[in-house]
Amino acid sequence: MVPKAEFESYYGRPVIKAPSWAATDIAGYFFLGGLAGAGSVFAAGAHLTGRPRTATALKVSSLAAVSLSAAALVHDLGRPGRFANMLRVLKPTSPMSVGSWLLSAYGPAAGVAAASAVTGKAPRIGALGTGAAALVGPAVASYTGVLAADTAVPAWHGVHRELPYLFVASATAAAAGMALVTGPTGENRPARCAAGLAALADTAVAAAAERRLGMVAETWREGRPGTLLRTARVLTVSGAVGAAVLGRHRGAAIASGLALLAGSACTRFGVFAAGIASAEDPKYTVVPQRETKRT
């Protein structure tokens, strides 16, 4: 029997260049942007349904999250001027260009909403800011998935259909977790329901993504990325179950919310690490292309 041949590139060099993004900055940017965007949607819902303490907490946390997200992005870019340069034009075909404009529109709206909620002043302007942030929030929560999938990185591009939905599910879990941690138990029923739906969606979309990736799914299952993504699933599911069963108790609600937040962060860092691993190993670029040509 002839042993199965293993793919090797010239001199063992990667076929594509791995992104030079720093994991802490960009994976953190992915997580914080998702938390902010989904949190604004939750905040608007709490505002409309008479849950003022939860609404205020989520408006403040969304502003903090988008501020930290922008800081992480600028830190990775190297200097603030590079972010400003991205706003010189609007290129609809570029996820980075669209994302920069989304952040520029979302940030002030989130700031107005939070300032009005904290001070109690200008409630009508605050309501407008809340609504505007909620409208832009879903795009802020999902565009980073489109941004990653638009690259040539096999573990990201191979799931260009699923990755934005995975990021939305993860962002929803994070926002539900924040609502459970910061809001009173008497107002957390919608967050508990959202946590369960987010956990189901997160699990289903992640499984679909791994099926579509084929052999590249090894990068999602092995090594540090695999550990992070398995941990993410355990934390997200346990957080959702804890919220559903024990969410009426303050301590359990906080613990469940922290698990959801940690699970969402692990998802972003795990997907990021899987992408880097797939770019560094040439077989994940060439072998799937050869199989596609044969079919």
Q: What is the pLDDT of residue 2?
A: 47
Q: What is the pLDDT of residue 194?
A: 97
pLDDT tens digit sequence for 185-214: 999 999 999 999 999 999 999 999 999 999
Mean pLDDT across the stretch 83-89? 73
Going from the N-terminus, what domains does the chain have, and what CATH number goes with each?
23-287 (1.20.1630.10)
pTM score over 0.85: yes
The tally of CA atoms less than 13 A away on the side-chain side of residue 156 is 25
Q: What is the DSSP string of 21-90?
A: --HHHHHHHHHHHHHHHHHHHHHHHHHHTT-HHHHHHHHHHHHHHHHHHHHHHHHHHSSHHHHHHTTS--
Token pair recorded at residue 21? 């993004």
* Percent of the chain predicted with pLDDT > 90: 73
